[in-house]
Chain A
Amino acid sequence: MSAQTGRPTLADAPPSSRRIDRARIRVENLKNDPNPIWMREMRQAARLGRTPIILAVITGLMALLICAVGGVASVKAEPAKVGVALFHTFFSLAFAVVTWIGPAVAASTIASERSGRTWEALSLTGLGPTTIAQGKFLASLTYISLYIVMLVPVGALPFLFGGVSATEVLAAFALLFCFGVLSVAFGLSISSQFSSSAVAIVVTLLVAIPLSLMVYLLGGVALSVAVHDLWPAIPKGAPVWLPTAYVRAELGLEYLAFLVLAPLVVIGVPAWFLYEVTVANMGGVSDDRSSGIRRWFLVSAPAFCVAAVVPTFAVPSDRWAATAIALSLMFIFLTTMAFVFAGEPLGPSRRVLIHWERRGVGRLRRYLGPGITRAVSLLMILGTLCLGLQMAVGVILELTAGGPLAHQNATRVVAFGGYLVGYCLFLAGLSAWTRARSWWQPCS
Chain B
Amino acid sequence: MSQSELWVAAAPALVQAPAIRVRHLWHRYGAMDVLRDVSLEVGHGEIFGFIGPNGAGKTTTIRIMATLLDPMAGRVEIDGIDVSVDPDQVRKIIGYMPDHAGVYDRITVREYLEFFADSYRVTNLGVVDAVIELTDLGNLQDRLVAALSKGMKQRLGLARILLHDPKILILDEPASDLDPRARIEIRDLLLELRELGKTIFLSSHILTELSDVCTSVGILERGKLVVAGPIGEIAERLEEQRAAQAVGLAPGDPGAPRPIQAFVPAAVEPAPAPAADGAPVAPPPPAVVTTAGGAEIPAATRKRLRLRVLGDARVVMPLIAGGTGILGVEPGPGGQLTVYYVGNDRFVADVVRHLVASGVGIVGVEPERNELERIFLEVTRGDLQ
Contacts and interface: CB of A to CB of B under 8 A. Distances in A.
Given A3-B118, A124-B91, A117 B70 contact: no
A1 B125 contact: yes
Contact of B85 (A120, A126, A127, A350): A350
B85 A43 contact: no
Contact of B119 (A127, A350, A355): A127
Contacts of A284: 67, 70, 87
The 9 closest A-B pairs by CB, nearest first: A117-B102, A36-B118, A125-B119, A3-B114, A3-B117, A116-B102, A118-B102, A44-B106, A47-B106
A351 interface: yes
Contacts of A121: 96, 98, 101-102, 116, 157, 160
A259 B85 CA distance: 48
Nearest to A48: B106
A40 B111 contact: yes
B7 interface: no
A4 B118 contact: yes
A59 to B, nearest CB: 24
A4 B114 CA distance: 6
Contact of A444 (B69, B94, B122): B69
A48 B144 CA distance: 13
Q: Is the interface of A mostly helix, strand, loop or mixed?
A: loop
Interface residues of A, number: 35
A3 B98 CA distance: 24
Contacts of B94: 124
B4 interface: no
Contacts of A444: 68-70
B118 A123 contact: no
A127 B88 CA distance: 9
Interface in B7-57: none
A44 B103 CA distance: 12
Nearest to A9: B123
B258 interface: no
22 contacts: A3-B114, A3-B117, A39-B115, A39-B118, A40-B104, A40-B115, A44-B104, A47-B107, A118-B103, A120-B66, A120-B96, A121-B96, A124-B68, A124-B91, A125-B91, A125-B116, A127-B119, A128-B88, A286-B70, A351-B87, A355-B85, A444-B69
A222 interface: no
B3 interface: no
B100 to A, nearest CB: 6
B84 A351 contact: yes
Contacts of A122: 119
Given A121-B96, A444-B68, 9 more contacts: A3-B122, A36-B119, A39-B118, A47-B107, A120-B98, A123-B68, A127-B119, A284-B70, A444-B69
A3 B107 contact: no
Contacts of B347: none
Interface in B80-131: 84-85, 87-88, 91-92, 94, 96, 98, 100-104, 106-107, 111, 113-125, 127-128
B289 to A, nearest CB: 43
A6 interface: yes
A354 interface: yes
A39 to B, nearest CB: 7
A124 B67 contact: yes
B92 A40 contact: no
Contacts of A1: 123-125
A3 B128 contact: yes
Given A117-B101, A354-B85, A126 B120 contact: yes
A125 B120 contact: yes
Contacts of A40: 104, 107, 111, 115
Task: Among A39, A43, A286, find the residue whose CB has the most chain B CB atoms closer than 10 A.
Answer: A43
Contacts of B144: 47
